[in-house]
Amino acid sequence: MKLFFQTATTVFALALGLVGCNKGADSAVLAKVNRTTITVADFKKQVQDLDPQVQPLVATDAKARKEYLDQIVGYEVALQEAKRLGLDKDAEYKKRVDTYREEMERKVQEAMKFELLANLVKKEIANKITVPTDQEVKDYYTKNITRMRTADGKKVSLEQAAPVIKDRMANERQRNAFVDYVKSLKAKATISIDEKTLASLGTDTAELSAPGDLKKPSAAAATPVKEGAKKEAPGK
């Protein structure tokens, strides 16, 4: 029974995941591969990285757990062989690892920025935003009644649409409040822009990017929003 199909990227991530993670209450050794140990903590971490639909199977089915551990052992054996052959010293390999590391660091930095902005929204903006009233939701529904339909054309009732509309209105208010807040900060800040350099980027980026790759930042994209922001009003 073949349950787990991993892409090259997933295999690489899995291999990295086997390093470390030997601390805590789950330090019991689950398997040994030559001089390398695989602990209970290592195994649990790999299970957490599986598809959510597969995780319960591994957690409850002994055969699936054994098969997954066997796969992890197989990866470890292959990694050890690659190192024995000196492939980890290969210049191209090192270059790609450095690229992966830089990309991961960039993603971490972006995530930290987003969290910081989210905290700013909570502290300075969230408590100033009024929750849409039932009447406001009803007015929105009435104004957009022709769009209140499902993908197959069926009419959506006010009761069905209300939660989505309320979330949409709340998120729009939060985005608008954030834009206004940023404008007030800009007004007090000292900002300088090199227009000449900015203009020169048009040619450079056009050469580096395929048509359609460049997207204009929007307030929605730049603004941290509460959970549920991805919901759209029916018919949108």
Tens of pLDDT along 141-191? 999 988 898 888 889 999 999 999 999 999 999 999 999 999 999 999 999
Give the pLDDT confidence score for residue 151 in this predicted structure: 86
CB 38 within 8 A of CB 78: no
Residues of the chain with pLDDT under 70: 1-25, 203-236
CB 26 within 8 A of CB 8: no
Give the pLDDT confidence score for residue 230 in this predicted structure: 46
Q: Say which residues have a Cβ less than 8 Å from residue 141's Cβ, sequence separation at least 6.
A: 148, 158, 161, 162, 165
Give the pLDDT confidence score for residue 214 in this predicted structure: 44
Give the pLDDT confidence score for residue 177 in this predicted structure: 94
